[in-house]
């Protein structure tokens, strides 16, 4: 491993975070490398410096209270929005029920209409019958008349033949 | 009671137990937020935002991960968001003079006036230098040096392999060193080196 590789491992090494083998290797390297030893010393110094620079006074008074109030408010809003959701669902259900009821009413109306249409059909049939009856009588008369014409034609033909034969 | 047990109870409806989690983590998160903002008010706001976000996302928390890691992930994202917003506003007022007075008074209780002044300069230099670091280096540096987290914890929070975090730390330290040299005169830097 190169010197830089060992240098990169120093932050973990100084926190005792390397495995046994890595720790041994780094320790062995530090014994013979003044640059890496200096680097390790600098990290230690910087740690001391950082702890000295860390904030000297933490102003947390009232912070917990503020957070908890915000959380309670969030919960209230959530509960309220849940209630609104439930209400809106209830409203939707009611509307659905209304639509269903309306639909059922329409179905009943439909069956009434059907009943009315049956009556109407019957009337139409009656009217049809009333119109059809005289026409069938006329038809009957016409067919009788045509039969008679045919018969009459036959008689006329026989008379003509007789007359030809008699001549 | 373990964090995970508390979360289970909160999810069952015992919201008041969340204050226990606030007690456990608010100082650490405040410290992280302050490392980014250098302003107590803004740090408070960020911590508040982190806890509210965490509460709202508790349902999505998976018990196989550590709660602290999950919370730190939210915290780091909130801090990075804050930095981006701040940059976009191009607000260069980093130091709050009131906060400086508070720090001064605290330090003056433990040290003589000359020493305090020197320390204050060091603090400013270090904070300014950390602040100038690119985001990826700044985050690992704050988590490792200021929050004293383990490298593995940082890996979990940032969801990166160990080698990546180690390399970032190595580079961050190098950049910080040169920035400190720029921000401090030779004698002061020497003094800082011998802390």
Its ipTM equals 0.73
Q: Are residues B139 and B179 in the same domain?
A: yes
- Residue A71 and residue B18: Cβ atoms within 8 Å? yes
**A49: phi then psi, degrees, rounded to nearest 5:** -60, -45
Which range has highest mean pLDDT (A45-49, A72-76, A140-144, B52-56)?
Answer: B52-56
Does position B193 have pLDDT exceeding 50, yes or no? yes
- For chain B, what is the mean pLDDT? 80
Q: What is each CA distance from B195 to A25, A48, A52, in whole angstroms?
A: 29, 8, 10
Contacts of A66 in chain B (CB under 8 A): 48
Mean pLDDT, residues B120-132: 81
Q: CA–CA separation, B111 vs B106, rounded Å?
A: 9
Q: Give the largest Cα separation in chain B, rounded.
A: 60
B22 with B105, same domain?
no
Q: Calculate how close chain A gets to B51, using CA atoms only, in Å.
A: 7
* Helices B186-193 & B113-132 angle (0-180, nearest 10): 90
Distance CA A127, CA A132 (A): 8
Mean pLDDT of A68-86: 81
CATH number at B140 reads 1.10.10.10
d(CA A116, CA B17): 72
**Is B117 found in the same domain as B82?**
no
Farthest-apart Cα atoms in chain A, separation: 165
Whether residue A113 has pLDDT greater than 80: no
The answer, yes or no, to whether residue A26 has pLDDT greater than 80, is yes
| pLDDT tens track for B62-87 | 877 889 999 999 999 999 999 888 87
Residues B107 and B123 grouped into a single domain? yes
Token pair 């987290």 is found at B149
Domain with B12, as residue range(s), is: 1-93
For chain A, which residues make up each domain, given as ranges? Answer: 1-56
CA distance B166 to A33: 19
Domain boundary among B41, B74, B93: B93
For residues B31 and B40, give the distance between their C-alpha atoms in angstroms, rounded to a whole number: 10
Report whether pLDDT(B144) > 50: yes
Choosing from B51, B71, B93, the residue where a domain stops is B93
Residue in B140, B103, B134 with CA at minimum distance from that of residue B120: B103
B127 in contact with A at a CB cutoff of 8 Å?
Answer: yes
Residue B187 in this model has a pLDDT that exceeds 60: no
CATH code, B31: 1.10.1740.10
Task: Please indicate, yes or no, whether residues B14 and B60 belong to a single structural domain of this protein.
Answer: yes
Last residue of a domain, one of B65, B93, B121: B93
Instruction: Report the pLDDT value the prediction gives residue A121, as an integer from 0 to 100.
Output: 75
Whether the Cβ atoms of residue A35 and residue B17 lie closer than 8 Å to each other: no
Same domain, B108 and B194: yes
B87 plus B99 within the same structural domain: no
Residue A23 touches chain B, beta carbons under 8 Å: no
Q: Is residue B19 pLDDT above 50, yes or no?
A: yes
Question: When comparing pLDDT for A130 and B193, which is higher?
Answer: A130
Percent of chain A whose predicted confidence (pLDDT) is above 70: 87
Mean pLDDT of B138-147: 93
Question: Burial, B42: exposed, middle or buried (Cβ in 10 Å; 0-12, 13-18, 19+)?
Answer: middle
Is residue B189 located within the same domain as residue B109? Answer: yes
Least confident of A52-61, A83-92, B30-39, B165-174: A52-61
Spatial CB neighbours of B69, under 8 Å, sequence gap ≥ 6 = B153, B156, B157
What band does B141 get if pLDDT is binned at 50, 70 and 90?
Answer: very high
> What is the 3-class SS of chain A, one letter each residue?
CCHHHHHHHHHHHHCCCCCHHHHHHHHHHHHHCHHHHHHHHHHHHHHHHHHHHCCCCCCCCCHHHHHHHHHHHHHHHHHHHHHHHHHHHHHHHHHHHHHHHHHHHHHHHHHHHHHHHHHHHHHHHHHHHHHHHHHHHHHHHHHHHHHHHHHHHHHHHHHHHHHHHHC
Overall average pLDDT of the B131-140 stretch: 92
Which is higher by pLDDT, A82 or A151? A151
Same domain, yes or no, for B40 and B66? yes
Domains contained in chain B, number: 2
Query: HEC profile for chain B?
Result: CCHHHHHHHHHCCCHHHHHHHHHHHHHHHHHHHHHHHCCHHHHHHHHHHHHHHHHHCHHHCCCCCCHHHHHHHHHHHHHHHHHHHHHHHCCCCCCCHHHHHHHHHHHHHHCCHHHHHHHHHHHHHHHHHHHHCCHHHHHHHHHHHHCCCCHHHHHHHHCCCHHHHHHHHHHHHHHHHHHHHHHCCHHHHHHHHCC
What is the model's pLDDT at position B158? 94
Tell whether B56 lies on the interface with A, counting CB pairs under 8 A. Answer: yes
Do B42 and B112 share a structural domain? no
Q: By CA distance, what is B54's nearest residue in A?
A: A71
Mean pLDDT throughout A11-28?
Answer: 94
Q: How confident is the model at residue B109 (pLDDT cuts 50, 70, 90)?
A: very low
CB B58 within 8 A of CB B7: yes
**pLDDT(B17) > 80:** yes
Mutate to test the interface with B, among A16, A50, A72 (most CBs of B within 10 A): A50
Q: Indicate the pLDDT class of residue B128, thresholds 50, 70 and 90.
A: confident
How far, in Å, are B3, B43, B83, B176 from residue B99 at the CA level?
Answer: 33, 12, 19, 24
A36 in contact with B at a CB cutoff of 8 Å? Answer: no
Chain A partners within 8 Å of B151 (Cβ):
11-12, 15, 17
Q: Is B81 in the same domain as B109?
A: no
Q: Whole-angstrom Cα distance, residue A105 to residue A97?
A: 12
Q: For residues B154 and B182, state if they share a domain.
A: yes
Task: Indicate the average pLDDT of chain A.
Answer: 82
């Amino acid at each position: 491993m190169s010197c830089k590789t060992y240098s990169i491992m120093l932050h973990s090494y100084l926190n005792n975070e390397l495995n046994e083998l890595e720790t041994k290797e780094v320790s062995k390297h530090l014994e013979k490398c003044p640059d890496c030893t200096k680097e390790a010393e600098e990290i230690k110094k910087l740690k001391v410096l950082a702890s000295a620079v860390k904030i000297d006074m933490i102003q947390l008074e009232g912070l917990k209270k503020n957070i908890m109030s915000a959380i309670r408010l969030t919960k209230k809003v959530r509960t309220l929005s849940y209630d609104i959701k439930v209400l809106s669902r209830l409203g939707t259900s009611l509307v659905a029920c209304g639509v269903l009821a309306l639909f059922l009413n329409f179905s009943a109306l439909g069956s009434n209409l059907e009943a009315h249409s049956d009556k109407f059909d019957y009337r139409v049939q009656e009217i049809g019958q009333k119109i059809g009856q005289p026409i069938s009588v006329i038809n009957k008369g016409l067919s009788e008349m045509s039969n008679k014409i045919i018969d009459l034609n036959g008689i006329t033909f026989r008379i003509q033949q007789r007359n030809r034969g008699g001549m | 009671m373990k964090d995970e047990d508390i979360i289970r109870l909160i999810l069952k409806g015992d919201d008041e137990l969340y204050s226990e989690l606030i007690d456990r983590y608010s100082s650490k998160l405040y410290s992280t937020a302050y490392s980014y903002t250098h302003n107590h008010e803004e740090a408070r706001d960020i911590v508040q935002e982190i806890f509210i976000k965490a509460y709202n996302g508790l349902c999505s928390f998976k018990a196989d991960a550590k709660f602290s890691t999950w919370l730190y992930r939210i915290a780091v994202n909130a801090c990075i968001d804050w930095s981006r917003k701040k940059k976009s506003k191009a607000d260069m007022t980093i130091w709050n003079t009131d906060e400086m007075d508070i720090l001064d008074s605290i330090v003056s209780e433990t040290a003589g006036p000359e020493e305090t002044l020197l320390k204050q300069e060091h603090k400013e230099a270090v904070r300014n230098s950390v602040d100038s670091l690119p985001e990826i280096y700044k985050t690992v540096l704050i988590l490792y040096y200021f929050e004293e987290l383990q490298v593995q914890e940082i890996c979990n929070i940032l969801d990166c392999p160990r080698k990546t975090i180690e390399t970032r730390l190595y580079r961050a330290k190098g950049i910080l060193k040169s920035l400190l040299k720029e921000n401090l005169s030779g004698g002061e830097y020497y003094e800082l080196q011998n802390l």
